Structure formats: structure tokens, C-alpha cells
Structure 1
């Protein structure tokens, strides 16, 4: 008599390796932190020096919730730098990071909406983006005009929005392929 292995049963080691451990690893990366990178200036002083600032919007337990919170806050334009009403924050990039500071998803803010960026699909593509962003940051360091330097740094940061952590690339691509409510 020969024993036939049923396709419905798998060894416990295989179940642990393929289903349980990846779930545990991803659970360690929560909560997700939602933030915005932007420029701060005084409300009435148009010629004043501007400076870059990152403002944390909140924490979430899922990428979908993080995208929703970011979209709501950006659309309402209610992102502030502390309690000081004399400072104006212009949000430029929204980002979602995990608890290990790995990038989950990021996008450019335009007209009170977030244009989420597609993540890189390969390490070679990531290297090209890092190289170009480094070149832009080098140009920013050499720039003698503060506004030009800030714009070059912004362009570098915008390129880097595609540098989604390897563990989140598939999730980010799936999130961006889903239809979003208007």
C-alpha cells in the first residue's frame, strides 16, 4: 500500500515560513506615520526667509487609512506648524513611513490633492533615482540663491518619493492600482 500525499496538507515548517513569519515581520512595522514635507514662512512677510519643515499628521494601522488621513488633511489645507498663527505651512510632499522609517508610499501635493508616486520596480531603477537625487542635492549645495537651492532639494525629494522600501513595494503598487473615491 502506498501513501498518497494530499495536496491539501503541507508540512508545518512550510506553513510557518510562507504564511506566519511574513505576517509577523510586517506586524513589527506598524504603526505607520503620516507626514508632510513643506515650506514655512511668516504669513505677512512675503520676502522673509522660508525654511523646510516636516510636520507629522498622525499614525495609522493600515496603509489605506494612512492614505485617507493624508488626503483629508491636505484637501482641507489645515496643516499647521505648532500653535503659531503667524506661520504659514505650504505642504509639498506627503509621505507614509513605517515604524522602522521605511518608506511605504509618498506623493507630490498639487492643488490640495496628493499625486501618489509609483514605487520603483527594481534595484537598478532605485540606483538611478538615488544618483539623480544626489546630483540635484549637490547642485543645491553649490547654488548661491536660497530659492534655487530649495527648489533643487525639493526636486531631489520628489524623485525620492519613488524609493519605497523593498518590503512595501508590492503593497504600494497594489494600493495605487485600486480605484479611489473622489
Structure 2
């Protein structure tokens, strides 16, 4: 008797390896934490009183949900609210990290829109970004002008937004291909 293998049924080991184990591993890295980097000040007039601040926004259970949450908070100007908030906060970069503080996704904020950054495609590309970001941070360190130094640091942080953890790269790349992510 000859048995024919059907394409509709897969061995349990294959299902475990391709679907169940990755889902369990991803669940260990949840929840995802969303935060916003920006420039805060107590009054919007004096440049000397400005300082960099990271504002934690919340947690979500998936990258898709985290992106929607971040976009919603930004669109509602609901970034720096609450009793410990700053009257003047200019959001610059939105960051999504897993519970192990590994970068899942990040994007630069321009004109009230988050420009999510594509993750690096390879390790050599990641090394180039790290080198360029280090160069910019060095320029910030040497700059006598605090505003110029801040701009160098934000340019470096925008580059580093592409340094998505290798575990999340494929998920993030696929997510950014979807039309609603644009």
C-alpha cells in the first residue's frame, strides 16, 4: 500500500517550530512600551531652560497596536499630560521597545506625523549607522551652542531609530509595508 502525503496536513513538529514557538517567544517580550523623546521647558520663551526629556506613554500587546496608540496620542496632542507634565513639550522621536528594552520600531516626528523608520537590512548597514551616529554625537559634545548640540543628538537618534533589534526586524519590515502604516 502506498501512502500519499497531503499538502493540507503538516506534521506537528513543523507547526510547533513555525507557529507555536515563535508566538511563545514573542509573548515573552511583551508588553511593548511606547515613549516619546522631545524637548521640554517650563516656559516656552527662554532657550536656556530647554532640556531633553523622555515621556513614557503606555504599553501595548502588539507592534500594530503600539503604532496606532502612538499615532493617536500624537494626533490628540496627548503626549505630555498629567501632574508631572511640562507646559511646553516638543515631541521629536517616538519609540517602541519590548519589555527587555530592545528597539521594535521608532520614528521621527515632523509636522504632527510619525515618520516610522525602516529597520536596517543587514549588520554592515547597522555598523555604518552606528559609526555615523557616533560621529554626530561627537560633534554634539564639541559644540559650544546647546541648541546646535541638541540638533546633532537628535540627528543621531533619528539614525539610530533604524537599529531595530534583529528579533523584530522582519516583523517591523512587514508591518511598514502595510498601507495603514504609511
Q: Distance in 1 between matches of 2:43 and 2:28?
A: 41
| Pair 174,149 (structure 1): closer, same or farther in 2 beyond 3 Å | same
**SS in structure 2 of the partner of residue 57 of structure 1:** strand
Q: Is the 8 A contact 2:33 2:59 kept in 1?
A: yes
| Pair 4,172 (structure 1): closer, same or farther in 2 beyond 3 Å | same
**SS in structure 1 of the partner of residue 47 of structure 2:** coil
**SS in structure 2 of the partner of residue 48 of structure 1:** helix
Please give the TM-score of this superposition, normalised by the length of structure 1: 0.89
Instruction: Say which is worse superposed, 130-139 or 73-82, in terms of deviation.
Output: 73-82
- How much does 1:131 deviate? 0.9
**SS in structure 2 of the partner of residue 65 of structure 1:** helix
Cα-to-partner distance string for 1:131-158 (whole Å, 9 max, x where unaligned): 1111111111121211111111100000
Cα-to-partner distance string for 1:97-123 (whole Å, 9 max, x where unaligned): 111111111111011111111111111
Q: Distance in 2 between matches of 1:43 and 1:78?
A: 18
Q: Distance in 2 between matches of 1:16 and 1:86?
A: 49
| Pair 10,47 (structure 1): closer, same or farther in 2 beyond 3 Å | closer
Is the counterpart of residue 117 in structure 1 residue 110 in structure 2?
no
- How much does 1:178 deviate? 1.1
Q: How many residues align?
A: 182
Counterpart position of 2:169: 169
* Runs of at least 5 residues in structure 2 that lack an aligned partner in the other structure: none
Root mean square deviation, CA, Å: 2.1
- How much does 1:129 deviate? 0.5
Counterpart position of 1:67: 67
Q: Distance in 2 between matches of 1:64 and 1:87?
A: 30
Q: Is the 8 A contact 2:175 2:181 kept in 1?
A: no
Counterpart position of 2:27: 27
Q: Distance in 2 between matches of 1:15 and 1:85?
A: 48
Please give the TM-score of this superposition, normalised by the length of structure 2: 0.89
Counterpart position of 1:57: 57
- How much does 1:43 deviate? 2.3
| Pair 82,172 (structure 1): closer, same or farther in 2 beyond 3 Å | same
**SS in structure 2 of the partner of residue 37 of structure 1:** strand
1:1-182 superposed matches below 5 A: 1=1, 4-80=4-80, 82-84=82-84, 87-180=87-180
Instruction: Say which is worse superposed, 156-165 or 5-14, in terms of deviation.
Output: 5-14
